[in-house]
Amino acid sequence: MVTISMDIQILFAGALFLTGLVGLLVRRNIIFMLMSIEIMLNSAALVFVIAGSHWMQADGQVMFIFILTVSAAEVSVGLALILQMYHHYRTLDADAINRLRD
């Protein structure tokens, strides 16, 4: 079906990963940092599926399902932590919690 070489597809996934990495490094709002982590996980899963469709194996899609599981667990725990942080500090700035105790 699609006749693009694997290089360009992986280049696309890498560009998406870099987008997420730049977002993680630039933004200080912790919700945006979590969203950038989501973008990075998604692009890593995209590489798995690209490789699986290149070699005609189902293993890449199985790996995508595992990455989906990890991502769901990470998001639930991370959002609960963000709620606790907002209730304690009344801010979403990641630099506000750079001390272990206040």
Partner 1 sequence: MNTIFYITATVAIVSSLIAITNRNAIHALLYLILSLLSISVIFYIIGAPFIAALEVIVYAGAIMVLFIFVVMMLNISLEEEQENKWLTPRMWIVPSILAALLLIIFIYVLKEFKYEQTTAEIIGPKQVGITMFTKYLLAVEISAILLLAGIIGGYHLGKQKKKVIHRFLEKTKKI
Q: Which of residues 28-47 bind partner 1 (CB under 8 A)?
A: 29, 31-32, 34-36, 38-39, 42, 46
Report the residue number, 8 or 100, with the smaller CB distance to partner 1: 8
Question: Could you tell me where the DSSP H helices lie in the chain?
Answer: 6-26, 30-54, 59-89
Q: Rounded to 10 degrees, what is the CA torsion of 66, 68, 72, 78? A: 90
What span, in angstroms and rounded, lies between the C-alpha atoms of 77 and 84? 11
Q: Is 96 in the site for partner 1 (CB under 8 A)?
A: no
Q: Where does this chain bind partner 1 (CB under 8 A)?
A: 1-4, 9, 12, 15-16, 19-20, 22-23, 26-27, 29, 31-32, 34-36, 38-39, 42, 46, 49-50, 52-53, 56-62, 64-66, 68-77, 79-84, 86-87, 92
